[in-house]
Amino acid sequence: MNLYAIIMAGGVGSRFWPRSTKKTPKQFIQMIGDRTLIQDTVKRLEGLVKNENIYIVTNSLQLDELKKQLNNIPFENLIEEPFGRNTAACIGLASVIISKKDKDAVTVVLPSDHIIHDITEFHKSILCAANYANSSNGLVTIGINPTKPETGFGYIQIDDRAVQDNIFRVYTFAEKPNYATAIRFIESGDFLWNSGIFIWRTDSVINEIKGLMPDLYEGLEKIKKGLGKPDFPDLIKNVYGQLRKVSIDYGIMEKSKRVHLTKGNFRWSDVGSWEEVYNLSDKDNDGNIIQGLVYTDMVIDSFIHSEDKFTAVIGVDNLVIVSSNDAVLVCRKDKSQEVKRIVDYLKINKLDQFR
């Protein structure tokens, strides 16, 4: 079995403004520890996927930073999307490129901005899913046993009768629920968090795209025929410009009859807000996380990050304060999911220098 990886690294991470911007988004910054999120994503593949089999999909704005941070990945494995067209097109593009190199490839598809602990268990889950996908031509995802009624994650409902060891048939995918619905999911016992990690044979997912998303398949076939030709940059721009923006969940996983799940016995987070970073990080005796040149007095249970300037904070609690080179964010921890509204505001008002 030849194992490959596709890392999706073209997102913006608008909930992490002002540190996360179009040019240097969430996956390229250090959230927890000494490595950036994308460096951690590649690091956890060690011993599982060879560097020459790791492909990363990004965009032109982020390509230089990607080269700088991941100089151990071959340059030709960095795939530049001409336009963002959501995850179905992103995964399809990388899949046809890999399939031309290896028609028997089994591929792990990973977001670039998650935090995962217990790497041994992570590897076990990937190998379990990969072996099943290789033998069955099925599409496999990893579900995480929920620890609380989380409203920031998607959910997957399974048939809890295993098809084989730790492989379960998927019933439904559910979008991020409200709190009452999340409680019902937890109480039912057959819903898991959707990790956004997929494992399949490359030819299997391309066949599913052919049947369920014929327009995308037609575009991918044109791209595949043009690979390596002098006019390829113009070809991919023309083809990509006509593709619809559809997620792999909606376009394939929710409709396919071949979807299965393996339960991941590792700690996982998609790190969707500053509050989540706070929850995952070590705190001082006052319940604070302090990063950079910061003075505090009578401050409790807060996250404070200051990049290049001195920041002083007195007499507050439960806040997120993030000071970057040219912007400052102050919000309550429990409102940090709303930070993306700021990025929307900057876009509408053409304040691109701040986003």
CATH of 3-269, one of 3.30.1240.10, 3.90.550.10, 3.40.50.720, 3.30.1490.20: 3.90.550.10
Average pLDDT for 317-331 = 95
Buried-exposed string 242-281: b where 16+ CB fall within 10 A, e elsewhere? ebeebbbbebbbeebebbbbbbbebebbbbbbbbbbbeee
Residue 283 has pLDDT above 90, yes or no: yes
pLDDT tens-digit map of 195-224: 999 999 999 999 999 999 999 999 999 999
Q: Which of 39, 48, 47, 43 is nearest to 4 (CA)?
A: 48
What are the tokens at 349?
């008002």
What confidence score (pLDDT) does residue 288 get? 98
Phi, psi of 265 (to 5 degrees): -95, 55
Instruction: Answer yes or no: is pLDDT of 337 > 90.
Output: no
Q: Which of 188, 142, 149, 193 is nearest to 168 (CA)?
A: 142
The pLDDT of residue 295 is above 90? yes
Q: 307 falls in which pLDDT band (50, 70, 90)?
A: confident
pLDDT in tens, 160-174: 899 999 999 999 999
Task: Collapse the DSSP code of 340 into the 3-class scheme (helix H, G, I; strand E, B; otherwise coil) and give the result.
Answer: helix
Q: How far apart (Å, rounded) are the C-alpha atoms in residues 296 and 315?
A: 8
Contact present, 207 and 200 (Cβ < 8 Å): no
Residue 237's pLDDT band, with cuts at 50, 70 and 90, is very high
pLDDT recorded at residue 79: 96
- The mean pLDDT value for 310-323 works out to 97
* Domain definitions of the chain by residue range: 3-269, 274-354
pLDDT level of residue 151 (50, 70, 90 thresholds):
confident
The pLDDT value given to residue 22: 84
pLDDT in tens, 75-129: 999 999 998 999 999 999 999 999 999 999 999 999 999 999 999 999 999 999 9
Q: What is the pLDDT of residue 152?
A: 84
Best CA proximity match to 109, nearest among 172, 224, 208, 196: 196
- Cβ atoms of 352 and 339 within 8 Å: the answer is no
Per-residue pLDDT band at 304 (split at 50, 70, 90)? very high
- Give me the mean pLDDT over the 308-324 stretch: 96
What's the mean per-residue pLDDT of the chain? 94
